[in-house]
Structure 1
Amino acid sequence: MRRLPANEIMSLVTDNPRYELAESVGPDLRLSDLLDDTDLPLSYGSAAGDPRLRGIIAQAHGVDADDVVLTFGGMHALFLLAFLTCERGDQAVTTSPLFPVARGSLDAVGADVRVVPLSFDNGYQLDLDAFADQLTPATKLVSLASPQNPSGVALSAETFEAVVALVREKSSDAYVIADETYREATYGDNAVAPSVVTLDPRVVSVASLSKCHGAPGLRLGWAISQDRALIDQLVRAKFGTVLTGSPVTEALALRVFRKYDQIMAERRAVLADGLAATEAWVAENADLVEWVRPNAGAICCVRLKPAVPVESFYRTLEKYEIRVANGSWFGEEPRVFRLGFGFLPIEDLKAAFKAFTAALRSVHS
């Protein structure tokens, strides 16, 4: 029997502590923000997903509606892609640190997973030489997140173009997943980087409504590819696992997109305030912590300096009712932790940082 490894990141879907700084999302939308009628048949949907919704997503990515398959969140898309592209023993290339469930989908299908390490000291930038060293003719799947989870660091357009060129050269049978879940979660008026899905037919963009749009409870994601054979297989694999999506979910998702400008403007303002508060807190405690500034998303990586004892740090946070995401959840060292600055309202976030400073200082002293 194939088994999925246990990981403490599952604690995020239990009760939240007073100061939840481990979450990767911003504030949640409310059903009342979207619902204005209930005259909706509770019938089956279509295997590919509502064509209106696929059309909206396609237009935003510069592709056709038939290039989009709706899934139950982004993780459903990642799992189906791993299942379709990798036989047991086939090679897959990804990075570390990484969202553990994304790595888990590769392990679950029995892939031979080759890992390119990303370094805090190098700002979690992808080393193209190290990446190229992991590619072989047996590579069937490359899975990269941009922005990354846990760091919020994005690959530049030039880096991703180089990735695609290397895959063409060394692993011509491989598909390249671009997990773009956090791409649109920019700060204030910062520009949104374009999707990379049109770079090559074998590039697959995966994302969802969970992180940028504030609707993780809808469990609505998508995979986009201009490779017709892959799209056909994705539709069949979706039908073979869940038949169709929920018409209720897809109808609500349509309303999210119809309010896109309003929702995203509000959320980007929240993220900008959270990022500024985080930057100020790191500066205030620069003798004890350091960080890698993210490009997008509600998360960043912070590292304890040597003066802070790691085990005492985590024990003390519990006493102060603070939770952060231990770096070990993602394959990083425990001295690094993921800090989420979008989940709490700004006044609560500032209160959390005040308590965090007290906890840090008590451990250090």
Structure 2
Amino acid sequence: MPTFPRNPIMSLTAEQPRHELGESYGPDLRLADLLTPELGDLELGYGTAAGDVRLRTAIADRHGVRPEDVVVTVGGMHGIFLLAYLLEGEVVTTAPQFPMTRNAFDTVGASVRVVPLTFDEGYRLTADAVRAQLTPETRLVSLATPQNPSGVAVPPETLRDIVDAMSEVCPDAYLLVDETYRAAAYGDDPVVDTALRFGPKVVSVASLSKCHGVAGLRIGWVISTDSGLVEQLTTAKFSTVVTGSTVTEALALRVFEQEDQILAVRRPWLEQNLLITQDWVNANSELVEWVRPDAGALCVIRLRPSVDLERFRRAAAEGGVRLADGDWFGDEPRVFRLGFGFLPAGELKAALDALAEAVHAAH
């Protein structure tokens, strides 16, 4: 019987520990930040299958497409699952990756071909590595940029070369690009253009959960300029959840109305916390190493061989430090994902101090 594989990443939804370094997003907004008197008059009926047209317009404007190209979903994972279901067949994807994405492919019974990414190579994806996994039966290529857990981005020229390879080997396949962290640039770093510019076979998936601090709204989207695929996605959404919540869609529209102000606060926050994390890695470089992320609220740390892994895990738990283990994502056991974007700078420093104690205790 089909089922959803269980992954320990579910533990991140449990009670928050003393030092939260496992989360992958920035600080939460409060409901009061979004409420307006007009929302009190909102009628609590069904929405539309594709999503509120004003919200779809806001999303479309930020991607240079039409509102008709956007389907609002219940978080980004809903969109990925619908694509996996509709495009059932051979999937080419990477490892490590966000485990729920791989679960979606496994749940629908897809044949999965994996492009391995490694710490030692900086999690850099090449078009040649993807091309080597493509076959005429490939229906979907699934990538994330920046990646989760590493925060490493796929260069635009690599994406273009992958699209070119797909047009030769599997011209009917789609390239799914998870762009959830695209807007989570550091400080004044430019935001990379959406991959949608590489043609109608590219599908973008993202959400408001990571960059904007409103994971509780459960608002995501799928964007495609292929009208036939959009029609299938809209029907699939209706067949699974009917419509989204009119309340959360209205609140999501408020987020987009305030997006410039929200990101103007978050990008310096992420930059500051990235530098704090970098200083911590440098100060403890005899025991840990990292791959510096390109964007996002997370990075990957690896314990050096002199650190006893099991002793470290026990010491971290005893110190109230929660991390995201690398094997949750299909990475090597000595790797873990560290989320530096969630805590304020002072609390992040305290959490990293506790983490340093655990590392040294296991040396």
TM-score by length of 1: 0.98
Indicate yes or no: 2:357 matched with 1:358: yes
Amino acid corresponding to residue 340 of structure 2 in structure 1: F
1:274 maps onto 2:276 in alignment: no
Shift of 1:232: 0.3
Instruction: Report the equivalent of 1:225.
Output: 224
What is the match of residue 23 of structure 1? Answer: 23
Aligned residues: 361
1:311 aligns with 2:310: yes
Task: State the identity %.
Answer: 58
Aligned partners of 1:49 and 1:149: how far apart in 2? 27
The Cα RMSD (Å) is 0.7
- SS of corresponding position for 1:70: strand
Match of residue 153 from structure 2 = 154
Q: 8 Å contact 2:219–2:252 — kept in the other structure?
A: yes
- Counterpart of 1:15 in structure 2: which amino acid? E
Q: How far is 1:273 from its partner?
A: 1.1
Residue 128 (structure 1) shift: 2.4
Residue pair 1:198, 1:226 contacting (<8 A) in 2 also = no
Residue deviations 1:201-222 (CA, integer Å, cap 9, x gap): 0100000000011000000000
What is the aligned partner in structure 2 of residue 63 from structure 1? 65
Alignment partners' CA distance in 2, 1:250 and 1:127: 37
**Structure 2 alignment gaps of length 5 or more:** none
- Residues in 2 aligned to 1:84 and 1:292: alpha-carbon distance in whole angstroms: 35
Work out whether residues 63 and 198 of structure 1, in 8 Å CA contact, stay in contact via their aligned partners in 2.
no
CA distance in 1, matches of 2:191, 2:166: 25
Counterparts of 1:309 and 1:169 in 2: how far apart (Å)? 48
Structure 1 residue ranges (4+ consecutive) displaced by more than 4 angstroms after TM superposition? none
**Does the aligned pair in 2 maintain the 1:95–1:115 contact within 8 Å?**
yes
Which residue number in structure 2 is paired with residue 342 of structure 1? 341
Secondary structure of 1:253's aligned partner = helix
| Alignment partner, residue 11 of structure 2 | 11
Shift of 1:358: 1.5
Aligned match of 1:237: 236
Output the CA distance in 1 between the equivalents of 2:110 and 2:27.
Answer: 36
CA deviation after TM superposition for structure 1 residue 127, in Å: 2.9
Deviations 1:186-212 (A, max 9, x none): 111111001011211010000000001
Question: What residue in structure 2 maps to residue 85 of structure 1?
Answer: 87
Structure 1: gaps (5+ residues): none
Question: How far apart in 2 are the matches of 1:85 and 1:358?
Answer: 47
2:186 corresponds to 1:187: yes
The superposition leaves residues 139-176 of structure 1 with CA deviations (integer Å, 9 ceiling, x where unpaired) of: 00010000000000000011110111111111111111
Q: Partner letter of residue 322 of structure 2? A: R
Contact 1:151 1:300 (C-alpha < 8 Å) held by counterparts: yes
Q: Residue in 1 aligned with 2:74?
A: 72
Q: TM-score under structure 2 normalisation?
A: 0.98
Supply the distance in 2 between the matched residues of 1:171 and 1:269 (Cα, whole angstroms).
42
